A and B are shown apart, each in its own frame.
Chain A
Amino acid sequence: MASTATAPAPQPIPPSLSLPPSQFARLQPHAYLLAHLSPPASSQQPSIRANGRSPSQFRVTSANTGSLTHTNGSAVVRLGDTTAVCGVKAEILHTEDIASWSVSHSSSSSFASNKRRKLTNPTAKLGEDRTDSGDNESHIEDFSLLVPNLSLSTGCAPGLIPGAPPSALAQSMSHQILSLLHTSRLVRAEDLQIWYERPNFGPEEPEHHNESEQMDVDVEQEGSDEASIQTGEIKAFWVLYIDIMIISLAGNPFDAAWTAVLAALRDTKLPRAWWDVDNETVVCSDIVSEARKLSLWGLPIASSFGVFEADAAAGWRSVTIQDAEEERKLAEGDRKGIQRRWVLADPDGYEEGLSQERVCLVVDKPQGGDGKVFIVKMEKNGGFAVDRKELKELVDISTRRWEDINQILKQC
């Protein structure tokens, strides 16, 4: 306990800096960043991060989509010096290849009821739809129709050995992206279904014509061919292989990767596909005008934060909840204008190494939501600096970030 109370004060900055700043930054990273964030009152300098940003400022972000030829959708997202390339490749999963595929899945009743729901509330609000689209949406998770994989072994940073199996960081980020795709229900299961509809119009009706109507499930035709829908059957699913290569890593890979996934999915076009009875397989059309884009639910956008503590040994503190005494001291310090911790938005590689506590927020602001902000994911670990009050502020920052990214994605 004694050691926790008397943590050594950060190194005082020598009055005359005999080292060039870049070397000082390497030797005393903590003191360097602290000196930037809390400049001496006499110097009249504003508190600013070592990289020249204000604490809540994100790096310059740019996105570019559709540049890779062999993908259904692709995106390059640059977040400062961090670059993520995401490619989406669609393949077909036949229901006969699914071991657990049962007759109940393809029963026409569930589909018809689904259709009816869609008919009754065509202008469904996002929030409602997400909750009651139940059974259909579970297909994505049950049959693993979305397969995101993130690769860091591209030589993106010195410590990562190329050719080695994915590091713990890469594995955890792949899983975070997967679970975020599932929980946010970004991709709609209807978009990934490939239907076969038995012709019951009469033998002379050309089959092909039938199917082309069937495939456009999103167009307002459902009412007219309700009868034919009764005999519909899912024959296959599209599986989206979402591969993210982090080409350059300079902190905050998750935001870059997620934004790249989002941009690539927005860019993704699936060809029109139908069940070919003669060949017993799924056949696609290569005509661009028949291909359709994925219709995504909302636009969840991630923003990450790191907490920098003035107390260099904070990371080594034993796990004790701060008592009232300490809290009071901190509050007092705040009143005096002495800030002891900073929440840094979009930490770069240098700052990431200095912050123990991380916060990741994913927020969405749906179109019809009257400006309401939905928190899709909230993750916080590594410390107790960020409290309810701070989290509320972070949600506001994330909302502003949402607006920015929304603009960037619209333009690309």
Chain B
Amino acid sequence: MTDRRRINGPSGGTRPPVFASSIKSTTTATERPQRQRQPNELRKIFLKTGLIPSASGSSYLEFEHSASLSAARALPKSLIPPSSSLKLACTVHGPKPLPRSATFSPNLVLTTHVKYAPFAARKRKGHIRDASERDLGVHLETALRGVIVAERWPKSGLDITITILEAEDDRWWGDAPDSHDAAWGMMNVLAGCITAASAAIADARIDCLDLVAGGVAAVVVDESVDGGEPSTPRLMLDTDPAEHRSLLSACVVAYMPARDEITELWLKGDNSKASVGTDDKSLSYETLIDGAVDAARGAHSVLAEAVRESAERLAGLETGYST
């Protein structure tokens, strides 16, 4: 079935390029990127509001490049990027009246929509939303529904649209797909979506209980420094899946610091294997969730700054200070 509304490529289909270095296992020129941050150190977040004037509220979020990626950009050697950093744009339209055909709703009706750009990931994405994108939309909606004071806008709708321009990898590109592999990159994307959407909602002057921020933590296994045996599992905040040998479990939360509430919790993986044999309490699910909450607190400080800027811009507009 071809899509008549779009320009389709060759009917025979095309294949993504295969690189010689990835099929010859002998080459050791490329190495897995190494995490240069402390286990509890987050990547810097760039967050800016109001870049899209036609929307009621908007934000743009970008994660800092990892050390390996910025090195590869400064001095390119290989065409295969070692890792990638999240870049996304979020718009909020509304509150606006619901269409006539919609049933009565005493609350604000929230619609979320997350879409990857076709060039966002290592593998080309389709134009139509796939299951994982819909999944992200649902997770984002639950995260935000608990924050917005929905009774203030009966019979209204609020559309939140997120376009992901660059996504995170699920694993290092050199690793073979694994059975216990999951879409780890999606969790970072969700955390970014939550933070960006929160900023955009505040930019649209929608009443919220608090600024909700997203954070990720994971239990990871790394190669030990001298190669060979993998190290013991450790808890890390704001993990880049490309930087680790394997992720045992990961958790993303949407967290409201002022109320100390979690509106969305998504935990994937199994770290029972990791905690077998050790009495170490540091790898339990509780600590994993606490780690994610800590990461969300970090993101919240960036978020608060972005929202303050947005408020100052509005104040400037109202007094006619800036035109």
Interface residues of A (CB under 8 A from B): 67-71, 74, 81, 83, 85, 87-94, 97-99, 143-145, 147-149, 151, 153-158, 161-163, 165-166, 171, 174-175, 178, 239, 241, 243, 245, 247-250, 269, 271, 273, 279, 281-288, 291, 349
Q: What A residues does B93 contact at CB under 8 A?
A: 155, 158
B20 and A174 within 8 A (CB):
no
What are 5 pairs between A and B in contact, CB < 8 Å? A85-B165, A93-B14, A154-B115, A247-B52, A248-B52
A69 and B166 within 8 A (CB):
yes
Q: What A residues does B160 contact at CB under 8 A?
A: 155
A70→B119 CA distance, assembly (Å): 6
A90 and B12 within 8 A (CB):
no
Decide if B6 is an interface residue (CB 8 Å cutoff). yes
Q: What A residues does B84 contact at CB under 8 A?
A: 69-70
Determine the residue in chain A with the shortest Cβ distance to B163. Answer: A154
A149 and B127 within 8 A (CB):
yes
Q: A91-B15, A284-B19 are in contact. List 18 more A-B contacts (CB 8 A).
A: A70-B84, A85-B165, A97-B14, A98-B12, A147-B8, A147-B9, A148-B7, A155-B159, A156-B91, A162-B161, A163-B113, A163-B115, A245-B165, A250-B53, A271-B17, A279-B23, A284-B79, A349-B54
Q: What A residues does B166 contact at CB under 8 A?
A: 68-70
A250→B52 CA distance, assembly (Å): 9
Chain B CB within 10 Å, residue with most, of A145, A166, A247, A269: A247
Q: What A residues does B11 contact at CB under 8 A?
A: 99
Chain B residues 122 to 166 lying within 8 A of chain A, measured CB to CB, are 122, 124, 127, 129, 159-163, 165-166
A156 and B14 within 8 A (CB):
no
B19 and A285 within 8 A (CB):
yes
A175→B199 CA distance, assembly (Å): 36
Interface residues of B (CB under 8 A from A): 5-23, 51-55, 58, 69, 76-81, 84-85, 87, 89-91, 93, 96, 113, 115, 117-122, 124, 127, 129, 159-163, 165-166
Chain A CB within 10 Å, residue with most, of B17, B55, B115: B17
Q: Would A93 and B12 be within 8 Å (CB), given that A174-B6, A288-B77 are in contact?
A: yes
B165 and A68 within 8 A (CB):
yes
Q: What B residues does A83 contact at CB under 8 A?
A: 51-52
Per a CB cutoff under 8 Å, which of B69, B78, B89, B124 touches A154? B89
Q: Would A243 and B118 be within 8 Å (CB), given that A97-B12, A98-B12, A149-B6 are in contact?
A: yes
A89→B91 CA distance, assembly (Å): 25
Q: Would A70 and B113 be within 8 Å (CB), given that A174-B6, A271-B17, A285-B20 are in contact?
A: no
A155 and B15 within 8 A (CB):
no
Q: B251 to nearest A CB, angstroms?
A: 26
Q: B119 to nearest A CB, angstroms?
A: 3
A239→B77 CA distance, assembly (Å): 24
Q: What B residues does A162 contact at CB under 8 A?
A: 113, 115, 159, 161
A92 and B15 within 8 A (CB):
yes
A382→B200 CA distance, assembly (Å): 38
A87 and B117 within 8 A (CB):
yes
Q: What B residues does A85 contact at CB under 8 A?
A: 117, 165
Which 8 A-B pairs give the minimum distances between C-beta atoms?
A155-B161, A87-B119, A97-B12, A155-B91, A91-B14, A248-B52, A69-B84, A162-B113
Chain A CB within 10 Å, residue with most, of B11, B51, B119: B119
Per a CB cutoff under 8 Å, which of A69, A98, A247, A273 touches B69? A69
B7 and A178 within 8 A (CB):
yes
Q: B205 to nearest A CB, angstroms?
A: 16
Q: Would A286 and B54 be within 8 Å (CB), given that A68-B165, A158-B93, A239-B10 are in contact?
A: no
B17 and A97 within 8 A (CB):
no
B53 and A155 within 8 A (CB):
no
Q: Would A271 and B19 be within 8 Å (CB), given that A69-B69, A147-B7 are in contact?
A: yes
